[in-house]
Amino acid sequence: MHRSQPNAAAAGTITLGDATVNRLGFGAMRITGPGVMGEPADREQAKAVLRRAVDLGVTLIDTADSYGPGVSEALIAEALYPYPAGLVIATKGGLLRPGGAWQPDGRPEHLRDALEGSLRRLRVDRIDLYQLHRVDPRVPIEASLAALVEAQTHGKIRHIGVSNVSVDELARARTVARVVSVQNRYSVSDRTSDPVVDVCARDGLGFLPWFPLAKGALANSRDARLQHIAHRHGATRAQVALAWLLRRSPAMVPIPGTSSVVHLEENIAAAGLRLSDEEYEALVS
């Protein structure tokens, strides 16, 4: 299984607003430098990963202005612009990186400036999916989303998403904007956002799990169940963890990230792995 490289389309599709994408995407956080700061050690290698992702059928690439900052978005444009038809570039705003930390800033004026920066770096006039990266405790989520809705009415945002939200925060966001997706931390070993996943499935929203491999821990997990299922399929543990996510909900759009073409190909191969009911349930318990 892990030697094959099926197209990402093998995972099926999901429609976010009016954009249909394959359900196995690519997260472009790790193409930056250490600590998600600065330039990667090898820019050409980073761009090769992005191009290979598209070759393998990835139609959703997720990034953020805070990755680098700005580095991930610039690399995506360098590697892929002009973008192929059907490729959705999703980015996020609302986090600053002082000293490498992650500091929320959901002020409308900051989000407007952040959006302009992303448009410039990605070389587009409109962002396909623009997501509030994190709720700022100093700013009501309604105020942050109102700024994105305003930009949407001006044609600068195609669809709006939110990230790192609770069920209540998602409901509040949806009183202001038509939200098409949620991006929260989620994996087979971290199911804190189960209630949010269920809301997304019920209401037809996409759910983009970040750290879908638990920051790589699942790839090296000694969990006997994960190892047994991987051995049975001739797959890697990471592939089983991704296949579990795809099985978990039709709303799920995993976006595993890597700076390696080899690991990218292994991740995309998970699109062709089908878990039995017994295997799926064994990993839930």
Of the candidates 67, 81, 83, 130, the residue annotated as catalytic is 67
Residues 6+ apart with CB under 8 A from 170: 162, 179, 182, 196, 199
| Rounded-to-integer distance, Cα 207 and Cα 192, Å | 13
| Rounded-to-integer distance, Cα 280 and Cα 285, Å | 9
Angle at 185 between CA 8 and CA 96, to 5 degrees: 105
| Partners of 14 in beta bridges | 21
Residue 163 parent element (H or E): strand 157-163
The structure tokens listed for 192 are 């804190």
Residue 67 bears catalytic tag: yes
| Rounded-to-integer distance, Cα 153 and Cα 158, Å | 9
| Rounded-to-integer distance, Cα 166 and Cα 170, Å | 6
- CA distance readout (Å), 3 to 12, 241, 261, 265, 266: 20, 17, 13, 9, 7
Active-site residues, by number, are: 67
